[in-house]
Each structure stands twice: as C-alpha cells, then as structure tokens.
Chains A and B, each alone.
Chain A
C-alpha cells in the first residue's frame, strides 16, 4: 500500500464519516455545520482527482455559500424541529429503506469497478483544438467554447432562480430589501472582519477570473469569492442589501447573459454559427463574456443568499436593534 493510497483511504473515511453525521445528526444545525466541513474535505478529494477548477468551485460554492444558506435556514427552522422528529418513520421501514439504498450504492460501486478500460475521453480533442481559442486552461476552453451553450443556459437559469426566490415575498414587502441576512449584533468582531477582509477577497476574486484563462480558476470561482465578500459586508451590517426594485441592480443581474447572447448572435454573422467566435478575436471576446458573467453571477449569488424582500418595518426594527 503506497503512502498516497493511505492518505486517500483516510480522506474517504473522513468524508463518509461526515456524510453519516449529516444524515444521522439529531439537530439540523449540527448537520449543516457538518455539511460545511464535508464540503471542505470534498475540496481535497477534487484536488486528488486532478480537478483544481472544480475544487475551487466546491470550496467557495458547495461548502461556503451553500453552507451559509443551510446554517441560516437551520437557525430559522429550529423551533419546528422537535415536532418533526416525532414523525420519523418506524424502525422496520427505516431498515427496509436502508437495505434498498445499500443495494443502490452496491450497484453504483459495481459500475465504478466495471468501468471500461481504457476510458472514453474527449481530453485529446480538447487539447488539440485549445490553441484556436487562445486560452491555456482546457476547462475554461470547454466552458466558453466547446460547451458554450451549457454555460449560456446555466448563466441564464440563475436569473429565473432569483426571480423564484424574490416571488416568495409577501405583496406588502415587494420592492423592499432582502431580509435573510439580518445584521449581526454590534460589539462582535464581524464588522472589523468585514472591513479588513474584502480588499483582499476582492483582489483574490478578480485574480481568479483573470488567471482562469490560462490557469485553474474562472468566472464562477471568482464570482463566488466576490459574492462571499459582499455577503460578509451585508451580514456585518456595514451595507444594506439593495432594494429588489433597484434598476441598476437589475441591469447588473442580466448584463452577463445579455453580453453572452449578443456575442453569440454576432457569431452567426462573423463565424458562421451561434456562439462561434471569429478566430482572430476569440480570446478578447471570451474575456469580455467572462467579465460580464462575473458581474452577473456575483450579483445573483449574493442576492440568492439575501433571500426574498422582507417587509420594511421588520428590517428597520432589526437595524435599530443592532445600533
């Protein structure tokens, strides 16, 4: 057994242990805390799988932002938890479900063990055509050139998701400020952190976007870091979330997809197909789309966490309690 395999085995055991904890923990808050640690361990697994771009996304989005969302929800829903624990299915049913789920896992494990060798792969085709895009990072090349339709649809689908979150507000609250990120009590260290950390975080986020053309990184990773900085400032109470009726904010939310669709449509005339880039301008066009998408994805991620608009008096009451 090599030393690398020992480390991998320990990592897998830790991941499975945390997954067990997330499933079995009595309180949802404890399970959500476990989920954050679980995401960070998965980040290491992704690095071990030679997928550094995915590892960064997992750390920032899968662990960080999703964790914050779940922790917030667990704190809000804690009063209802005792009643729902009573509704747990009986022991017999749980054993039956456990056996069936174990069978499913065993089936998937068999698929993993019986995967064809050598594995089918597009890696060589991507490597052969990457120079045409002017990019050095094959993952960015796939996201922006070969599978650009996926990326376009994904960046567009974020906007309806935000509309879905916003539409859960009450009629009275419409047009107000999102209410999930209630400012933290005064006297904590959070406002200090929210003043010291963002300059560095914003630099890291922009670097991730810029470096993503040639090295691991990219708009989604950068946008997640930028959104985290924005959320930190909002949670610390240094800035209020923008009103959902704010026209500038709405414009920023759609500028990325609009930029993407516009350049994609221009490709019909200039390069012969939707989302095709004329070869001489491929890299500048891709960078322009990346910048636009970074702005939009940052805004969407931050506002998804900020939740639906809350009634104005409630927000003011929370602000007063803070001061």
Chain B
C-alpha cells in the first residue's frame, strides 16, 4: 500500500468520524467542529485524487507532481469553508446571547399572553 492510498483511507475515516460527531454531539459548536472534520476529510480525498492525477506528469518527465486543478479547487474550498464557519459561529454566539442557550433544541412555547392584552 502506498502513502497516498493510506491518506485516502484516513480521509474516509475522517468523514465518518465527522458525521458521527455532527449527529451525536448535542452542542451546536461541537456540530460546527464536526462539520469542519467532514470538510477536511473531503478536501483530503480530493488531495489524494490530485496526487494520483499528477502521475502523468512524472511519466512525462516534468518535475512537479500533483494535478493542479483539484489543488486549486481545494484552496478555493478552504476559503469558503472558513467564511461559512465564521457565519455559523456568529449566528451561534448571537443565539446564545439572546436566548441563553448553545444548542439547536426547538423553542420552548412562548409564555401565554395576559388575557387583557390579546388582540381582537
């Protein structure tokens, strides 16, 4: 087994582990962390494909290996993943500030309005 295949298997395990965390972790921040684990696993899988695709370069005798197309897409993906994480974290902090909670549990029913103030 080559090192590249080994990293590919590692990527598969990371996706599985991240998905488990995303489902089983109750805290929303832990879900964001788990989602980032899934993301890094997917990126790594793409990196393995890029490394394998670079084989043709080695055959053709041009120095650098690694297919630049998937690599460039992973760089794009990393930047967008950071932006998405920033939005998710900000939403979560705001949710905790306004409702004193850090989970995605459903809203408790609002307290019943006093009868005198009910709109017609």
Which A residues lie at the B interface, using CB under 8 A?
A: 4-5, 8-9, 12, 15-16, 19-20, 22-23, 28, 31-32, 35, 38-39, 42, 45-46, 48-51, 53-54, 57-58, 61-62, 65-66, 69-70, 72-74, 76-77, 80-81, 83-89, 93-94, 97-98, 101-102, 104-109, 111-113, 115, 117-124, 126-127, 138-139, 141-143, 146-147, 150-151, 154, 157-158, 161-162, 164-165, 168, 180, 218, 220, 297, 300-301, 304-305, 307-308
A307 touches B71 (CB 8 A): no
B24 touches A123 (CB 8 A): no
B15 touches A143 (CB 8 A): no
A62-B78, A69-B89, A73-B93 given; A94·B24 CB < 8 A: yes
A69-B85, A143-B76, A154-B80 given; A49·B51 CB < 8 A: yes
- Identity of the chain B residue whose Cβ is nearest the Cβ of A155 in the assembled complex: B79
What are the 5 tightest A-B residue pairs by CB atom distance, in nearest-first order? A105-B16, A121-B53, A112-B8, A80-B102, A108-B12
A308 to B89, CA, bound (A): 11
Consensus secondary structure, chain A interface: helix
B94 touches A123 (CB 8 A): no
Which residues of chain A are near B20, meaning CB under 8 Å? 23, 97-98, 101
Which B residues lie at the A interface, using CB under 8 A?
A: 1-21, 23-27, 29-30, 32-34, 36-37, 40, 43-45, 47-57, 60, 62, 64-69, 71-76, 78-87, 89-94, 96, 100-103, 105
A308 touches B87 (CB 8 A): no
Minimum distance in angstroms from B93 CB to a CB of chain A? 6
Given contact pairs A50-B51, A77-B27, A109-B12, enumerate 17 new A-B contacts (beta carbons under 8 Å): A8-B3, A12-B9, A16-B10, A19-B13, A31-B33, A49-B50, A51-B66, A62-B40, A66-B85, A76-B93, A83-B102, A109-B8, A126-B68, A141-B68, A147-B69, A165-B87, A180-B93
- Identity of the chain A residue whose Cβ is nearest the Cβ of B63 in the assembled complex: A127
A12 to B62, CA, bound (A): 29
How many residue pairs link A and B with beta carbons under 8 A? The number is 295
A80-B96, A165-B87 given; A49·B37 CB < 8 A: no
Report 10 cross-chain contacts, Cβ distance below 8 Å, ordered by A residue. Answer: A31-B33, A45-B10, A77-B96, A83-B102, A87-B103, A101-B16, A121-B57, A147-B69, A304-B82, A307-B93
A301 to B79, CA, bound (A): 9
B82 touches A62 (CB 8 A): yes
A261 to B51, CA, bound (A): 32
A16-B13, A104-B15, A122-B53 given; A139·B101 CB < 8 A: no
